[in-house]
Amino acid sequence: MTSNETHVTVTRTIDAPAKDLFSLLTLPARHHEFDGSGTVRNSDDTERIDKSGEKFVMNMHRDAMGGDYRTHNFVTAYDENKMVGWQPAPEADDGTAPTEPLGWEWLYELKSQGADSTEVSLTYDWSKVTDEKLLKQVGFPAIPEEDLEQSLNLLAAAVTNP
């Protein structure tokens, strides 16, 4: 685990090929299976992520966010079988979709360790959040390190259940 004032990274080795993990990570409909924070409920999108610049919508629940809410996730990183990341932004109360992310990012990096083993790093980075009001309101990191570690544990379990 590494952390500083603007990001937390957790890493573990998973007994699965990088391509299988990448396939799971790029399918928003399965994200609830490996969310260690318990906030992801389901996805409105069933299409696979296949490039940077795409957007997918997730249905979420978190008491600190007022209960149920939706996020629009802007895909910011995509390198097949190596990396995928996105920056979320909550939908407005009136259902209006955000036009840009608010600055925090979820990034998964995959490093093949052979045919059936992959080192997976998950980084939660809020270094691009510049709105002081938002920084105080959210209290970054909103998701603790233990939840990120649990996300990788759940990812390891989910990849064995296609």
Model confidence band, residue 139 (pLDDT cutoffs 50, 70, 90): confident
**Could you tell me the pLDDT band of residue 76, with boundaries at 50, 70 and 90?**
very high
Q: Across the chain, what does the average pLDDT equal?
A: 92
Q: What is the pLDDT of residue 3?
A: 56
Please give the sequence-ordered ranges of beta strands (E in DSSP) within the chain, or none if there are none. 2-3, 7-14, 40-43, 55-62, 67-79, 83-90, 105-112, 118-125
| Sequence-ordered list of residues with C-beta below 8 angstroms from that of 36, at least 6 positions apart, any chain | 146, 147, 148, 149, 150, 151, 152, 153, 154
pLDDT digits (tens, 9 = 90+) for 124-134: 999 999 888 88
Place of tokens 């990849």: 159
For residue 160, what is the enclosing H or E element? none
| Mean pLDDT value across residues 25-33 | 96
Tens of pLDDT along 85-109?
Answer: 999 998 888 989 999 998 999 999 9
Name residue 136's amino acid: K
Confidence of residue 1 (pLDDT cuts 50, 70, 90): low
Which is nearest to 140 in space by CA: 151, 131, 149?
A: 131
